[in-house]
Amino acid sequence: MKHLIDPTDLSKEEIDQIVALAEDIIAHRKRYQGSMAHKKLATLFYEPSTRTRLSFTAAMMELGGQVLGFSNPQASSVSKGETVQDTVRVVGCFADIIAMRHPIEGAPLVASQVSNVPIINAGDGSHSHPTQTLTDLLSIKRELGHIDDITIGFCGDLRFGRTVHSLIKALSRYNGIKVVLIAPHELRLPDYIKEDVCDKMGVTYRETESLDEAIPELDVLYMTRVQKERFLDEEEFERVKDSFVLDARRMALAKEKMVVLHPLPRVNEILTEVDDDPRAAYFRQVENGKFVRMALIVSLMDWRKDPAHAMPEPDEPIIDPTLHCTNSKCICNTESHQPQFRLAENGIMRCWYCESKVR
């Protein structure tokens, strides 16, 4: 059975297939209206969300299916101390497919290990957000006509921004991708993405602290919000919160056809004066999110019993009681899952669940 926990769970062909299906759904909406009749999607949201949860709901409704779930874990048995795995075993008795968002990294992964229905990771901590990635890829495709051969700038919180981590992973499979990382020192991209993804896959990247300097060469500018809720240190947050702001003056430095994306919500990093610029694609991107989630639900339901769409073969986990994951927001430190590790690029040991470096 296919789950979507990390963008790399999908092959490039599968990603292209989902993007193409989303485009077909946009062109022939009526054709897909009853395709999930009598099927149920459960949305288990342990963390706030507007777009992601509602777009999953709208997607399933448009396919003729039904939706159940919770958006406030305090109102469910989670507040009684139920583990993620138990919750998923129970919900799998009621629903045909599950979308889960969780503040703890690795939670959807452990859910997928026991689930009898497909699990979709709708965002886990600072780690991964693969359905936003599909949304972003569809948006790039629709705005520019292609995904290969682009220069994309990621601006803002590249450290805690899970949408950035996932999109870079997915783009690393395309040809001719150049990445410009635009962030203050405190919010730089984690090493595991630079080493295990960019270096390994041969993605050209450079880092800069100046949006003015980077913007003229970009085909896509991916703006992000500073992730206040993931900062451990309030003072550090105050120092960087207004780091990079996109305004009309900066847009004047950009290419005529540059596309501005943002997973939203924005706080102040894009001034509203940019919204009417035809290059501002972030509200069109929201709508793409619904279509791509329709395509994803249809695909995962189709692929359930198809061995050609199995999960990729995982590396052999390393179990060593002398090693510890130091990420307090990792599932192996919040629930009793045996810590497991894998050997990544350059002999670095990484946590199986959250991919942080193990010391």
Between CA 82 and CA 13 the distance in angstroms is 37
Between CA 106 and CA 270 the distance in angstroms is 31
Rounded to the nearest whole angstrom, what is the least distance from the CB of residue 250 to ligand NCD in the complex? 20
Contact (Cβ atoms closer than 8 angstroms) between residue 205 and residue 180: yes
Rounded to the nearest whole angstrom, what is the least distance from the CB of residue 52 to ligand NCD in the complex? 4
- DSSP secondary structure letters along 184-202: -GGGPPPHHIIIIIIIHHT
User: Please, which residue, 52 or 356, has the CB nearer to ligand NCD?
Assistant: 52
User: Please, which residue, 64 or 184, has the CB nearer to ligand NCD?
Assistant: 184
Rounded to the nearest whole angstrom, what is the least distance from the CB of residue 101 to ligand NCD in the complex? 8
Give the one residue of 263, 280, 298, 329 binding ligand NCD; rule: CB under 6 A.
Answer: 263
User: Please, which residue, 55 or 172, has the CB nearer to ligand NCD?
Assistant: 55
Can residue 264 be called a binding residue for ligand NCD (CB under 6 A)? yes
User: Please, which residue, 102 or 225, has the CB nearer to ligand NCD?
Assistant: 225
Between CA 20 and CA 16 the distance in angstroms is 6
Between CA 125 and CA 162 the distance in angstroms is 7
Rounded to the nearest whole angstrom, what is the least distance from the CB of residue 82 to ligand NCD in the complex? 24
Written as one letter, the residue type at 57 is T
Can residue 71 be called a binding residue for ligand NCD (CB under 6 A)? no
Between CA 209 and CA 187 the distance in angstroms is 10
Can residue 350 be called a binding residue for ligand NCD (CB under 6 A)? no
Between CA 156 and CA 149 the distance in angstroms is 23
H-helix segments, 198-338:
200-201, 211-214, 234-240, 248-251, 282-303, 331-334
Alpha-carbon 319 to chain mean position: 28
Between CA 270 and CA 30 the distance in angstroms is 35
Can residue 115 be called a binding residue for ligand NCD (CB under 6 A)? no
Can residue 230 be called a binding residue for ligand NCD (CB under 6 A)? no
From residue 117 to residue 146, what is the string marking binding to ligand NCD with x (rule CB under 6 A)? ------x-----x--x--------------
Can residue 53 be called a binding residue for ligand NCD (CB under 6 A)? no
Q: List binders of ligand NCD among 136-195 (CB under 6 A).
A: 162-163
Give the one residue of 16, 24, 51, 207 binding ligand NCD; rule: CB under 6 A.
Answer: 51
**b vs e for 310-345, b when ≥16 Cβ sit within 10 Å of the residue's Cβ?**
eeeeeeeeeeeeeeebebebbbbbbeebebbbbebe
Rounded to the nearest whole angstrom, what is the least distance from the CB of residue 287 to ligand NCD in the complex? 13
Can residue 225 be called a binding residue for ligand NCD (CB under 6 A)? yes
User: Please, which residue, 7 or 339, has the CB nearer to ligand NCD?
Assistant: 7
Rounded to the nearest whole angstrom, what is the least distance from the CB of residue 261 to ligand NCD in the complex? 11
User: Please, which residue, 90 or 267, has the CB nearer to ligand NCD?
Assistant: 267
**b vs e for 83-122, b when ≥16 Cβ sit within 10 Å of the residue's Cβ?**
bbbebbeebbeebbbbbbbbbbbbbbbbbbeebebbbbbb
Contact (Cβ atoms closer than 8 angstroms) between residue 110 and residue 331: yes
Give the one residue of 21, 32, 52, 356 binding ligand NCD; rule: CB under 6 A.
Answer: 52
**List of residues contacting ligand NCD (CB under 6 A):** 51-52, 123, 129, 132, 162-163, 225, 263-264
